[in-house]
Amino acid sequence: QVQLVESGGGLVQAGGSLRLSCAASGRTFSSYTMGWFRRTPGKEREFLAATSWSGKSTYYADSVEGRFTISRDNAKNTVHLQMSSLKPEDTAVYYCAARIQYTGSLPWDYWGQGTQVTVSL
C-alpha cells in the first residue's frame, strides 16, 4: 500500500513558477514509478510526467516538456513537479500517482487527493 499526499498548489501569475510535492507513505516507495497528472472540469485526466523508480529516467507529455520537471527523493519518499512558464491553460487539479510499470498501459495503482493550481493572467 502507498498513500500519496500532494501539496504546493496555489495561485500564480502567468509566466510564473510553482513546485508541487507529493509525499508518499510506505516502505516500498522506491519500487514505484511515480507520475503527475492533471484534470480540468469537462476534460479527461491528462498525463504530464513520470519518473522511474531510481529517478534516472523520465518522460513527459508534449504539452509540458521543457516547462515542467519531475524529480524524486527516495530517501524522503517524495516526488516533485517543478513547473515554470505557467499559462492560464495549466489551471487544473494536479495529482500524483504510483505504479510498478514504468511505461505501458497498465493502470496507475495509487493516487493522491490532488492539489489545485490556478494560473491567472
Binned at pLDDT 50, 70 and 90, residue 14 comes out as very high
pLDDT surpassing 80 at residue 27: no
Q: Retrieve residue 112's grid coordinates.
A: 493522491
Cβ pair 112, 5 in contact under 8 A: yes
Give yes or no for a contact between 115 and 93, defined as CB atoms under 8 angstroms apart: yes
Strand-pair category, 115-120 with 10-13: parallel
> CA 101 to CA 99: how far, in whole Å?
6
Backbone angles phi, psi at 28, to 5 degrees: -100, 20
Average pLDDT over residues 4-22: 98
Lookup: cell for 74: 527516495
Q: For residue range 51-88, what is the model confidence (pLDDT) as tens digits?
A: 999 999 999 999 999 999 999 999 999 999 999 999 99
Closest CA to 33 of 47, 49, 52: 52
pLDDT for res 49: 97
